[in-house]
Structure 1
Amino acid sequence: MRGAEKRLTVLEALHEREPGTRQGWVVDGDLPAGFRKSAESVARDGLVEWADGATRSLLSARGGRPVAWAVRITALGRDVRRYAGAAAPGQAGPGRGERLVKLRPAQMEALRVAVGVADELARKPAPGFLERVRTADFDPVANRWCMYLTLRHIDSVAYVFYLRGLCGSASEANHFARDYGVIYRIESESGVPTLMSVPGLRPVRAVRAR
């Protein structure tokens, strides 16, 4: 699990268990096995704090059982959680004919290179595609760039990854094929690059390369 994802996972777990606690302290018995190790790494970042001996004694008396340790979110941790929530993609649904596409950072970098030379490409990106790339949202928990795209936009994404593969790196195209079922290949009949469905490598005729 990546560092950012671990931090947010710990913060969310504590936030969910806060209702009904004493001053936000979540005790050991209310947390899953192995949580303490994750919380320790987050504590080093100042996002959570540990209860001292006196606080543990009060929590033990209140709960009617010994409390070996307890942890709560700090003010910094609350700010991080709020910021991450604001930075995550909005909840508005896709428009007509759109679907949510989540791209790895390397894939997004490939698209940004294409945006920079879009006017010089013989095969222009689909209308609206450049704006979708420029306004994409970053999900820090998933470590993915998120966009709502039409099939024509998805065609443009796959074409950029095809160009990237011909320059040396095919991983972006291969990941996209596994995640979204399409990839560019040379069609045997026409001999031109064509968006293909995976598996089967059948042309996606509605958005065939021009």
Structure 2
Amino acid sequence: MGQPNTCWLFNNTENDGTNTGNATGGAGGNSSNWVVIDLTNDALAWCSEQQTDGDTLTGTRYPVVIPDSGSNEAEKTFIKDNSESIFDQVPLAGTTAGGQSGGNKRYVFAIYFDGATAGIPYLEAWDSSAHATADNNFLGGGTPANSSIRAITTTNAVPGSDTWAGTPLAGTDSRIELDTAALTVAKNLYFNIKQLVTNGTHTPGSSTALVLTLRYLYS
């Protein structure tokens, strides 16, 4: 079988359409546009409503504000595109509780596999590339249910609600399956993701290190 090649991509339009370009992205279904993520140099960023699509990475960064009480969903989601040196917005990310065009949307982030796997692929979150711990403050401080990072699989269907809750991501204790079975052919796996910050749980200035991880078996 051999190890399949994988490619991470995001849709930078408000059009909910498939990644027809697979590993190269580009124009997709329903006038969507898919951009390949450079896993070495690009980064995922949640920002306040003040951040604007196309802002330069050398300019001001507007972080998410922790509410005085309760929880708030991050208003905007971006990929920090190193090659273009801009904040490239992911408009369909998150839910209608955010400040974008999120909600019951399916084609937001994609991971393209060019071959089969020996098990179901998982999406996980860790606080370093060593994949040894997932207990910084924004990943729940050792309590996975308190992680601010929430994700939902959309490979085979929309989330089912404009205000989907998602699964908190923290190590292997709390993660999502990206499909219902091992892959037998090349395929795009889709997911949506948001950040939900909570007063009293997530603290200003705490570590926000995040490594999204794809875990799968092959033979």
Q: TM-score band, normalised by the shorter chain?
A: under 0.3
If the length of structure 2 is used for normalisation, what is the TM-score? 0.21
Highest Rg: 1 or 2? 1
Query: What is the TM-score when the length of structure 1 is the normalising length?
Result: 0.22
| The structure with more helix, counted as a fraction of residues | 1
User: Structure 1 or 2: larger strand share?
Assistant: 2
